[in-house]
Amino acid sequence: MGTAQKPEQPRTAGGQTRRRLAIIVIAAVLLAAAWFGYRYWVELGILGDESINIVFIGVDAPVEEVVREEDKGGDYSLALTQYGQKADAVFVGTIHPDTRKFHLLGLPPELIVTLPDGSEGELRAVFAAGGVPAVEKVTEDLLQIPIHYYVLVDYSGFTELVDAIGGVEVDVQTPIRYYDDGELVFELKEGFQRLLGPEALRYVRYRRGSEPDLKRLERQRDFIIGLVDEMLEAVTITQLPTLARYVGELVETDLPWEDGLKMASAVLRRNVEGIDVTMLPVQTEDGRCLPDTQGIAAVVAELFYNPSWDKAH
C-alpha cells in the first residue's frame, strides 16, 4: 500500500425500513457473491472440503433477463458475471476452505477459445455468441471445473451505484494520466482518494500501454473489495435506501435471494480474508493468444482442484 495517510470521511443518514436494509444487503451480496457465498457456507458448516468457483465477466450493456439452458445442480460453485456484447474483463475465482483465501485467475479477453458454433474466436465474444450458458461452458471446458450460479452486473449501472454510496476510497499506487488524441481526459494522483462513478469506472478500466493485464486485474480486485466495504459500512451504520433503486437495473442472478440474505449475515459477522490474483498461462502463436494447456492444468491443480470432482466425473 502507499504511504499516504487515509483521510476520514463523514457519512450521511439513510433510510428507515427493514425492507430497504434487506435490499441493500442483497445488493452487496450480488456484487460480491464470491466472498459472501464463502462466508455463508462456512458459517453453516456445509462447505466441507469443496471450493467455490466463480466466473467474472466485465462489459458494458444494460442488464436483461437471461434464462439458463439447464440447471446443472450442485451446491458450491458460483458464476459472477458482468456481461454485454463483448467482454473487456474475464476472471475465474475460487474460494478455498483450507486457506480461506479467494484466488482470482485472470483470463485474457483475446484468448482463443471454441465458440458455441464450433468455430474459434476470442473469449470476449463468447457471451455475444451464446449468453451465460456459453460463458459457463467455455469456462468449464477450458479449466475443467464446475460452475453452478451466475450474477450479471452492468458497468453502466456500476457508476450510479458508486455515486449512491458517496464514492469508493482507493489507494492509487502510481499516478495515472490518460490521454485521448493528445488531450488529458483522466488523471489521478498517488495516494488515498475517494472516486465517484465516472472516475471509478475509468480507474478499473485503465491500463497503461506497457503495463501487464495483471496490474489492471489487481486494481479491479482492490476496487471491488473497497466497494463491498463501503456498502457493508453503510448497511451497518446509516442504511442507504437509494441503493435499492439501482439493484434491479444493475444485477441479474439465479442465486436465491434467501440464500443471499444468509450470506450477507455471515459476512457482517466476520471479515473477508486475503485475495490473490494470477494470470492464466498462455502462449503466443502467429500473433494469437492461445491457452497453455500444461500451464493451465498446473494452475487448476493448485488453485481449483477438489478430489470429489474425480468421483463426480
Give the global pTM.
Answer: 0.60
Is the model's pLDDT at 267 over the cut of 90? no
Question: Of 83-97, 142-156, 190-204, 240-254, which one has max mean pLDDT?
Answer: 190-204
Is the model's pLDDT at 157 over the cut of 50? yes
Question: Which distant-in-sequence residues (6+ apart) come within 8 Å of 190 by Cβ?
Answer: 2, 4, 172, 173, 174, 175
Is the model's pLDDT at 253 over the cut of 60? yes
Higher pLDDT, 188 or 40: 188
The rounded mean pLDDT for the chain is: 65
Residue whose C-alpha is closest to residue 158's, from 27, 277, 257, 51: 27
Counting Cβ atoms within 10 Å, is residue 303 exposed (0-12), middle (13-18) or buried (19+)?
buried
Question: Which distant-in-sequence residues (6+ apart) come within 8 Å of 23 by Cβ?
Answer: 241, 243, 244, 247
Angle at 265 between CA 264 and CA 266, to 5 degrees: 90
Where in the chain are the domains? 18-308
Per-residue CA distances from 4 to 192, 219, 236, 309 (Å): 6, 17, 27, 46
- CATH number listed for the domain at residues 18-308: 3.40.630.190
Residues 195-205 have pLDDT tens digits of 998 888 888 77
Sign of dihedral through CA atoms 229, 232, 233, 239?
positive
Report the alpha-carbon distance of residue 40 to residue 112 in Å, rounded.
35
Report the alpha-carbon distance of residue 147 to residue 73 in Å, rounded.
9
Lowest mean pLDDT among 8-22, 86-100, 258-272: 8-22
Other CB atoms within 10 A of residue 102 CB: 23
Note whether 226 and 168 are within 8 A (CB). Answer: yes
Counting Cβ atoms within 10 Å, is residue 119 exposed (0-12), middle (13-18) or buried (19+)?
exposed
Read off the C-alpha cell for 278: 494470477
Buried b or exposed e, range 64-89, using 16+ CB within 10 angstroms: eebeeeeeeeeebbbbbbbbbebbbb
Residues 105-138 have pLDDT tens digits of 888 888 999 988 889 999 888 877 877 788 889 9
> pLDDT band at residue 275, thresholds of 50, 70 and 90?
low
